[in-house]
Amino acid sequence: MAPGETRILCKLAAIPDGEGLGFTLGEGEAQRLIFVIRQGERVYAYVNSCPHAGTPLDWTPNRFLTYDKRHILCATHGARFRIYDGYCFAGPCQGDRLTALPVAVVDGEVVLGAVA
């Protein structure tokens, strides 16, 4: 995506409250994995890559959260991140952050590149 460009990812209703959904953007060398976490009417989007290992966070597709759904979990080594800002507070990358992406809900749709 070019700066200032937006892209509709899905309807907000497609992401169950308290869950996440992964997306693949682009193809080939330009391919990028991202995910969106929904909390009520708010959404948070991040690049799907652990800052420690560079691996995708979800071992099972679309499973990005701890069992209690309070934190984002790296399935590779158990690092935990805050949902609202991607800060790693536990694990080998403690103090690092996930790469956040601008995302907002616009007319019931999750829009990448939009700012709330």
Total count of domains within the chain: 1
Return the CATH number at 75: 2.102.10.10
80 occurs within a structural domain: yes
Rounded CA separation 80/105 (Å) = 25
Q: Give the total residue count for the chain.
A: 116
What average pLDDT does this structure show over 100-104? 97
- Let me know if residue 29 belongs to a domain: yes
Q: What is the pLDDT of residues 88-97, one digit of tens each?
A: 999 999 999 9
Task: Name the phi and psi angles at 30, rounded to 5.
Answer: -90, 0
Is residue 2 in some structural domain? no
Q: Give the domain extent around 76.
A: 17-99
- Asked if the model's pLDDT at residue 109 lies above 90, the reply is yes
| Amino acid found at 80 | R
Tell me if 10 is assigned to some domain: no
